[in-house]
Amino acid sequence: MCGIISGLTPGIHANMIAALLLGFSPALLPLLGPEGMAAILIATLITHSFLEIIPATFLGVPDDGTSLSVLPAHSLTLDGKGEEAVRISALGSLWGVIFAIPLALAALWFIPFLQSSVDILTGSLLVLIMGMVIVRSEAAGWLCAICLVSGILGLFAFRFEYLSWNTLGAGSILMPLLTGLFGLPFLLTASEGTIPRQRFSGLSIPTRTVARAALPGTLAGLVVGWLPGLSTASANTVISGWIPYDQERFHYLAAIGASTLANSIIGIAVFVAIGRMRNGVMAAFSGFETPPILFLLTIACLAALGAYGITVCLAGTASSLSGLNSSYLNTGVAITLVLVCGILTGPFGLVILILATGIGMIPEMIAVSRVPCMGVVTIPVILYSFGVW
């Protein structure tokens, strides 16, 4: 239930739910014990990771794990294929769990021995990835400029993040950054009219093709979940270098779904192996004794099965959106996002939102890829990895 609420509500992340549960832990821990608290936290994280694709698809609202997937998912909704987009993303997520579980167990053996070397190579790997994305483009100059400007904004935002509010433990500066770069520009430039009739007559690609697309997504999620300072948004950038999100939309959504869940799974293994907390949910584990890894991964599997079923059921209601005035809907969502950013991050967050929206409008105006906007995350991580910032 916690994962459903956070996954479907724009601006609410699983980290916020974890912070609230941790606040109530003095009352919950005696009742549930460490295993019960761990089960709630893991199930929240996994369920959120499945369901966050729904607002990304039908409302164009980005989250850390859906920043780039908003583009193909929402465009498929405009083609009347929103339900299929959600189903393929959910299926990719399920394959991501299947692939990631054995890899996470294997990682427990070698993570402690390789971690020091991996810390050193993080910056170089990101430079390589972003360089490949930019050089392979037909407008390399524009993409390089967008990447650098986004990176400067990221450096500014993270440097002065202490100026933002931290309402209910949810005030991450990533929210206005990603909303401005990927959410609001899409909503502000979306075509007017009504949402096309949503129809579903089966998946356009077979299940084995979804599994093949999910495998590189799983590997990207595992790598990014292991490397220090990176997030699911960085995995999106990696995947976009392999699978063009504007040409192979279904394959890209399957890969992104797998990446998001693999990132969550490897985060559990990294915490157990070396004690590093890759997200707010893992940070909440520091408040009590951590159960065995097999117990945590079993809960993750059970939650994934339940969340997959819930996501598919909710996707089946997509036809009820047919005929809605998209202009009013986009305006309402945009206003809601601005209000949520203001409530959770305060005036400084709104300033970052305005600046990010200005940068995010540039790719739309000159018709180039929006991937270099991820420089807002990657450039600060690169500089931090090299000890420059």
Phi, psi of 325 (to 5 degrees): -70, 110
**Looking at the predicted structure, is the pLDDT value of residue 90 above 90?**
yes
Q: Which residues contact 93 (CB under 8 A, 6 or more apart)?
A: 49, 50, 53, 257, 258, 260, 261, 304, 308, 311
CA distance 228 to 180: 25
On average, the pLDDT of the chain sits at 82
Report yes or no: 151 and 375 within 8 Å, Cβ to Cβ. Answer: yes
Residue pLDDT, tens place only, 242-259: 666 556 788 888 988 998
Report yes or no: 217 and 229 within 8 Å, Cβ to Cβ. Answer: no
CA distance 119 to 226: 10
Residue pLDDT, tens place only, 104-161: 898 888 877 776 777 677 778 778 877 877 887 778 889 899 999 999 999 999 999 8
Q: Which amino acid is at 385?
A: S
CA distance 371 to 123: 18
CA distance 88 to 365: 30
The residue assigned the tokens 């450039």 is 379
pLDDT of 28: 83
pLDDT of 363: 86
pLDDT of 375: 86
Q: Which amino acid is at 219?
A: L
Q: Burial-class residue 377 by CB neighbours within 10 Å (0-12, 13-18, 19+).
A: buried
Q: Which residues contact 14 (CB under 8 A, 6 or more apart)?
A: 2, 3, 6, 7, 44, 45, 48, 49, 279, 280, 281
Report yes or no: 357 and 187 within 8 Å, Cβ to Cβ. Answer: no
pLDDT of 93: 94
Q: Is 325 helix (H, G, I), strand (E, B) or coil?
A: strand
pLDDT of 20: 73
Longest dimension (CA), the chain: 60
Angstrom CA distances, 379 to 92, 124, 278, 284, stand at: 29, 11, 19, 28
**Looking at the predicted structure, is the pLDDT value of residue 241 above 80?**
no
CA distance 366 to 223: 33
β-strand partners of 194 = 325
The residue assigned the tokens 């339900």 is 83
Instruction: Over range 66-83, report the average pLDDT.
Output: 73
Give 352's pLDDT tier (boundaries 50, 70, 90).
Answer: very high
* Token code pair at residue 67: 């920043």
Instruction: Over range 205-214, report the average pLDDT.
Output: 90
pLDDT of 169: 53
- The answer to which of 15-19, 152-156, 293-297, 371-375 has the lowest mean pLDDT is 15-19
pLDDT of 55: 83
pLDDT of 9: 80
- The answer to which of 82-91, 232-241, 250-259 has the lowest mean pLDDT is 232-241
Instruction: Over range 183-208, report the average pLDDT.
Output: 78
**Looking at the predicted structure, is the pLDDT value of residue 226 above 70?**
yes
Report yes or no: 371 and 197 within 8 Å, Cβ to Cβ. Answer: no
Phi, psi of 59 (to 5 degrees): -115, -10
CA distance 281 to 143: 34
**Looking at the predicted structure, is the pLDDT value of residue 225 above 70?**
yes
pLDDT of 350: 94
Give 279's pLDDT tier (boundaries 50, 70, 90).
Answer: low
- Verdict on whether the full-model pTM lies above 0.85: no
CA distance 263 to 129: 18
Residue pLDDT, tens place only, 288-300: 788 898 999 999 9
Query: How close are the terminal C-alpha atoms of the chain, in Å?
Result: 40
CA distance 45 to 4: 10
The residue assigned the tokens 């990014």 is 224
